[in-house]
Amino acid sequence: MSSTMKLMLFSFFTILSFQTVFSVTPIIVQHPLDPLTEQEITLVQTIVLRKYPTSRNRLTFHYVGLDDPDKAAILKWQQSSKLVKINRKSFVIAIINSQSHEILIDLEAKLIVSDNIYKGNGFPTLSVEEQGQAIELPLKYGPFIASVNKRGLNLSEVVCSTFSIGWYGEVKSKRSLRVECFMKEDTANIYVRPINGVIILVDIEKMEIVEYHDTEIEPVPTATNTEYRASHQRPPFGPKQHSLTSHQPQGPGFQINGHSVSWANWKFHIGFDVRAGVIISLASVYDLEKHKSRRVLYRGYISELFVPYQDPSEDWYYKTFFDAGEFGFGQSMVPLVPNLDCPPNAQFLDAHFAQVDGSPTTLKNAFCVFEQYGNIMWRHTETGIPNEDIVETRTEVNLIVRSIVTVGNYDNILDWEFKASGSIKLGIALSGILEIKAVGIKHKSEIKKEQHGTLVSANSIGVYHDHFYIYHLDLDIDGEYNSFEKTNLKTVKVTDGSSKRKSYWTIETETANTESDGKIKIGTNPTELTVVNPNKQSSIGNDVGYRLIPGPAVHPLLTEDDYPQIRGAFTNNNVWVTPYNRTEKWAGGLYVDQSRGEDTLAVWTKRNRDIKNKDIVLWHVVGIHHVPTQEDFPIMPLLSTGFELRPTNFFERNPVLKTLSPKDVQWPGCPK
């Protein structure tokens, strides 16, 4: 938890007058999918506080976002040269007098359309401010101070952080957090210096410690060789890296108009949500032969990130985090550092979201957009023609939309990469710091029982864990009505003597009719997975489509009846396909904190709805089983994964056949 977060106080605004609602600065929105502006967030705050003044109510805002416009209306707006009027609405989740309210607000009419109280299980996304309050409690709590003194530690060097607690069969749940504390003495790398053996439970409604245990004393790992700040490093440095300068004499090859981006043959919209983070919408690619833009993706974003740790002990069993639903991917995004997180040719966009009191805050440099050079788009060297030397190669230029989400100890670097060939690559890279369990072990030979992790340094176990990202991908391949095809590769034996070969492989394609057919565990059989438009064919008769090219197949290893896996059952398959439903956005459910797995993708698909030639959504789980190593300590180099959406019979031929490489730039003073 940063010092900024710790200083944030839990405060409420005085209710604004009724007249204030109508004197808000005029809201200018260029696109109906644009994220809420600062003025709109202020308007939402004003309208809610008008009905629930803080003088008579305890009120906190936990989600304020754009209510998804009707998809048909958006497509009509897009096709009608943007002449169709679409009313902007905001969906709000607020806790008012200990009850979760779902409030829908018409921003045009400045009215509450509906206000319903949620009575099911689970709680809304945790706010930054209440977490900031919770981490201060131990520092003033007598039993904790005694525990610190008993260990011979300096209280002034102690910092704390919050952890969601999950659900383990309890009949009744209260909004609560675990708090763990660390030593910042001699290092900024607090997560590798935990004070283990202390269990703190905070009731965040009462904002007080309701449970405290000091179970055992383990040595706090030393600060030696844990510092990662460049200003605190000592020589020798290395390996040495040489400088590089970049220059685009014609300026950037992309244009940003508000949140709409056009580049090469692509057009798309960049949105933002306090829970999802970056949202890419209305992505279409221009077909040079057909002389028109063709739809590919209506909407895509990370719906959830499930991170279960694998230590079942009392101190660790509850660490089964849902980073988007519990902590908010959007509110956990961090400002990007120019020239370091993004190259010098990048352009940046800001984001706005509501704080716990409903007032807007701005995240500067929330995402960046830049062109990446240096790869090969396609090439061939022909040596088979006598007396001719043919070498054709093309330089690839790609467009990347990048954001970084930091939830506690981990940094998630998230890329959307658009290629002129029509592909979209989704990249995930992890950096940051391992969660460390302090132990009285300094050498592997001392380990006598299961430690549920790797000894990465003296007294430091890096605990085994997983990272499961699930993407919501509403593909509209040349239109809304699509189907999902599984093309199985199978071995055929030659038994009739017709060939000197004894075997070959061929394909067998089947179209998924229902949601059950669309559930895929990747890696069990060689399979090609494609979303096709059965109503549109290429000139030679193939259905146009886009293929999912997955990364390494990773499957959950928890039993399906384990409580974390019940909540994270959306990871039971790598691929799911559902009919489009604007309310089915969050794979882990709308209320994830202490949820019970009653409102997940795995539950929705039990209806086994039709998905053939329908408006469908592809859900893809990307996973990493993380077995820590010494190289991950004290801070991790990037650990990467991802996948690709690749055109499949979508174009008549190679769409970049006529794409020329960028011209070389002659620098002054350099030889030609």
- Preceding amide of 662 cis, omega within 30: no
Cβ proximity of 329 and 277 under 8 Å: yes
Q: How far is CA 400 from CA 294, 305, 344, 427, in A?
A: 20, 21, 13, 10
Cβ proximity of 603 and 567 under 8 Å: no
Tokens 């703190």 locate to 200
Selection from 269, 276, 268 nearest residue 65 by Cα: 276
User: CB burial class (10 A; 0-12, 13-18, 19+) of residue 426?
Assistant: buried
Amino acid at 239: P
Selection from 36, 30, 111 nearest residue 77 by Cα: 30
Catalytic-residue membership of 323: yes
> Among the residues of 359-461, which ranges form H helices?
none
Distance CA 125, CA 592 (A): 7
CB-based contacts of 541, cutoff 8 Å, min separation 6: none
Cβ proximity of 393 and 660 under 8 Å: no
Distance CA 245, CA 611 (A): 50
Largest CA distance in the chain: 90
Find the catalytic residue in 323, 411, 599, 615.
323
Q: In what order do the strands lie in the sheet with 89-96?
A: 59-66, 89-96, 99-106, 111-118
For CA atoms 403, 407, 411, 416, the dihedral sign is negative
Find the catalytic residue in 410, 469, 546, 563.
410
Catalytic-residue membership of 411: no
Amino acid at 542: N
Selection from 98, 178, 405 nearest residue 274 by Cα: 405
* Residues classed as catalytic: 323, 410
